[in-house]
Amino acid sequence: MNPSEWMPDLAHPWTRFALAVVVALVVAGLLRRVVLAFLRRFALRHPRGASMIARANAPMEAIVPLTMLLLAFRAAPDEPARLIGALEHMVGLSLIVACTWFAVRCIGALDAMVSRFNPIDLEDNLRARRVQTQVRVLSRTAMVVIVVLGMGVALMTFPSVRQFGASLLASAGLAGLAVGLAAKPVLGNLIAGIQIALTQPIRIDDVVIVENEWGRVEEITSTYVVVSIWDERRMIVPLQYFIENPFQNWTRTNSRILGSAMLWFDYGLPLDPLRAELTRLCKAAPEWDGRVCVLQVVDTNDKAMQLRALVSSSNSGKSWDLRCKVREGLIDYVRREFPDFLPRVRGEMVSDVRMADADTPALGRRMTSTRR
């Protein structure tokens, strides 16, 4: 048999196209192996980049062969043009999706790497909270921008969408105004996210009071903030709220805080023994940071005096526990050592009551007799 009878005709366009596809896939496999070996060596030398390489590996495995296939379509025959154009368009869309996926995964890996090397479960975590807040908010915003750009590039590959865009530009003034009004909440939250990342009125794990609710900033996304309330509820607050409304941030510069315990006692209670007891309670409490331990009379009325025990702690959680311990300890001390000076309503017994007149009713005489 003549070899030319069974060997493919290399001059045929479809044969050249098939060979181009095979060569592209083989080259893509070789490039994948080379890149993977290089990235493994890089990860061994730079452990911090290992997570980013692991996350970017999956989209990279799609980007390389899709790129080579797109190059192979240059050798495709001119006929049938519709079929070849549809296949090339599909490969191009897949490449755009893979590149968008790759960029999002890289940003997510960077966010995770920064969070891992800047933990916030430490006593002095101000710098870690600042870094995590900046990276998290900016990464979420960047992800949204990349996804929107990827969708825009993918849509622009369709001729009908390009024609629609051209006709839309003819009435750009009215259309831009309508789109701007419709997208105002989304764009406002994106801009607010950038402002929060740069100025940082709040950070991850900050203790805040929002809408009269005490809680911690648990998560900051590109559009809203999750505040973990003390009773395990979650408050979802738009980012714009923290730019446009006042709120309390108890850990803006540091986590140290003063706490007070308010108590009412009788005027006759000696204060020096009570101050000594407060000092003993603070020194015995692990929540006290050793800065402030003061007992003062802050208010009075016609029945008792109000005392304020002012104590300090390293964070708001410990401050709450310390205030409860101080309040309980001082009440127990006064009840045990000075029980007569607990606040109570007192009355004097009348030993002799003169009748205003002789016509006092019998019931009144019985009540007067009972009080004697």
SS3 221: coil
Residue 213 phi, psi dihedral angles, 5° rounding: -120, 130
Residue 6 has pLDDT above 50, yes or no: no
Q: What is the mean pLDDT of residues 28-32?
A: 72
Considering only the top CATH level, what class is 141-254? mainly beta
Residue 210 has pLDDT above 60, yes or no: yes
What CA–CA distance (Å, rounded) separates 232 from 226? 12
Domain layout of the chain by residue ranges: 8-117, 141-254, 257-341
Partner residues linked to 306 by β-bridges: 264, 299
> Do 239 and 196 form a contact (C-beta atoms < 8 A)?
yes
SS3 297: strand
Considering only the top CATH level, what class is 257-341? alpha beta
More confident residue, 230 or 67: 230
Which CA distances in Å does 248 have to 207, 216, 242, 282, 345?
8, 11, 10, 27, 39
Residue 192 has pLDDT above 90, yes or no: no
Cβ neighbours of residue 353 under 8 Å, at least 6 residues apart? 368, 371, 372
In this prediction, residue 362 has a pLDDT band, given cuts at 50, 70 and 90, of very low
What pTM does this model have? 0.53
* Arithmetic mean of pLDDT over the chain: 76
Question: Alpha-carbon dihedral of residues 22, 23, 28, 30, nearest 10 degrees?
Answer: 120
Residue 324 has pLDDT above 80, yes or no: yes
For residue 49, the model assigns a pLDDT of 63
Cβ neighbourhood burial of 326 (10 Å; 0-12, 13-18, 19+): buried
> Do 238 and 224 form a contact (C-beta atoms < 8 A)?
yes
Cβ neighbourhood burial of 218 (10 Å; 0-12, 13-18, 19+): middle
Cβ neighbours of residue 286 under 8 Å, at least 6 residues apart? none
pLDDT tens digits, one per residue of 139-178: 888 888 888 888 878 877 777 666 555 554 444 444 454 5
- Give me Rg for the CA atoms of the chain: 38
Cβ neighbours of residue 317 under 8 Å, at least 6 residues apart? none
For residue 123, the model assigns a pLDDT of 63
Here the contacts of 179-185 (C-beta below 8 Å, separation 24 or greater) are 185/238, 185/240
Cβ neighbours of residue 145 under 8 Å, at least 6 residues apart? none
Q: What percent of the chain has pLDDT over 90?
A: 18
pLDDT tens digits, one per residue of 95-143: 888 889 888 888 888 888 887 777 776 666 667 777 777 788 788 888 8
- Where do the H-state alpha helices sit in the chain? 3-6, 13-45, 50-72, 81-117, 126-156, 159-170, 172-182, 184-199, 241-244, 271-284, 316-337, 362-371
Q: Is 37 left (phi over 0), alpha (psi -120 to 50) or beta?
A: alpha
Residue 145 phi, psi dihedral angles, 5° rounding: -65, -45
- Where do the H-state alpha helices sit in 171-287? 172-182, 184-199, 241-244, 271-284
